[in-house]
Structure 1
Amino acid sequence: MSFLPSAPASCDTAPRWRIGDAVVHRIDELTLPPETGPWLLPTATAGLVTQVPWLTPDFVDSRGTLRLAVHSFAVEIGGLRVLVDTGIGNGKSRSNPAWDNLDTPYLDRLAAAGFPPESVDLVILTHLHTDHVGWNTRLTGEGSWKPTFPHARYLVCRTEADYWSSADIDETRRQMLADSVDPVRESGQLHLIDVPEEGSDVAPGLRLLPTPGHTPGQVAVHLESVGQGAVITGDCIHHPVQMAHPDLCSSADVDPEQAAGSRRRLLARLAGSDTLLLGSHFAPPTAGYVRAEDDGDSYHLSPVPGEVPHSG
Structure 2
Amino acid sequence: MDRFTVGEATIHRVEEMTAPMPLAMFGADLVAQNAGWLHPRWANADGTWDMVVQSWIVVVDGRVVVIDPCVGNGRSLPHFPLFDQLDTPFIERFGATGIRPEQVDFVFCTHLHSDHCGWNTTLRDGRFVPTFPNARYLLAQRELDRWNPDLPGYRHVPENAGIFAASVEPVIAAGLVDVVAENHRICPSLETQPAYGHTLGHSVVHLDSAGEQAWFTGDVFHHPIELIHPEIDAGTCDDFAQTLITRRRLIDRFVATGALVIPAHFVAPHVGHLREIEGRRVFQAYGQ
TM-score with structure 1 length normalisation? Answer: 0.85
Match of 1:275 among 259, 266, 273: 259
Is 1:186–2:173 an aligned residue pair?
Answer: yes
1:272–1:290 contact (8 Å) kept in structure 2: no
1:28 maps to which residue?
15
Which of 108, 118, 136 pairs up with 1:153?
Answer: 136
Residues 300, 19 of structure 1: alpha-carbon distance in 2 compared, 3 angstrom cutoff: same
CA drift at 1:103: 1.0
- Match 1:206 to one of 190, 197, 214: 190
In 2: Cα distance, 1:70 partner to 1:156 partner: 20
Shift of 1:55: 2.1
Deviation at 1:203? 1.2
Instruction: Give the stretch that moved more between structures: 165-174 or 200-209.
Output: 165-174
Aligned to 1:66, the other structure's residue is in SS state strand
Question: How many aligned positions are there?
Answer: 282
User: Which residue of 48, 51, 72 maps to 1:68?
Assistant: 51
Pair 1:231 & 2:230 matched: no
Give the counterpart of 1:264 among 218, 235, 248.
248
Matched, 1:302 2:275: no
Correspondence for 1:113: 97
Correspondence list, 1:70-219, <5 A: 70-95=53-78, 96-141=80-125, 143-165=126-148, 166=151, 167-170=154-157, 173-195=160-182, 199-219=183-203
Aligned-residue CA RMSD (Å): 1.8
Shift of 1:93: 1.1
- What SS does structure 2 have at the residue aligned with 1:271? helix
Q: Structure 2: which 5+ runs fail to align? A: none
Which residues of structure 1 form unaligned runs of 5+? 1-13, 307-312
How far apart are residue 188 of structure 1 and its match? 1.1
SS of the residue 1:236 aligns to: coil
Conserved in 1, the CA contact under 8 Å of 2:260 and 2:271?
yes
Instruction: Please tell me whether the aligned partners of residues 27 and 110 of structure 1 are also in contact (alpha carbons under 8 angstroms).
Output: yes
Determine the C-alpha separation between the residues in 2 that align with 1:170 and 1:119.
Answer: 34
The question of whether the paired residues in 2 share the 8 Å contact of 1:273 and 1:290 is answered with: no
- Detail structure 1 runs of 4+ shifted over 6 Å in the superposition: none
1:66 CA displacement: 2.1
Q: Percent identity?
A: 37
> CA distance change for structure 1 residues 57 and 171 in 2, over 3 Å: closer, same or farther?
closer
1:310 alignment counterpart: none
Matches within 5 A, 1:53-64: 53-64=36-47
Deviation at 1:104?
0.8
Separation of aligned partners in 1, 2:160 and 2:270? 28
Higher relative strand content: 2
Q: Helix, strand or coil: the match of 1:181?
A: helix
Contact 2:206 2:216 (C-alpha < 8 Å) held by counterparts:
yes
Residue 236 of structure 2 is matched in structure 1 by: 252
Stretch deviating more after TM superposition (167-176 or 15-24): 167-176
In the TM superposition, residue 294 of structure 1 has moved relative to its aligned partner by 4.7
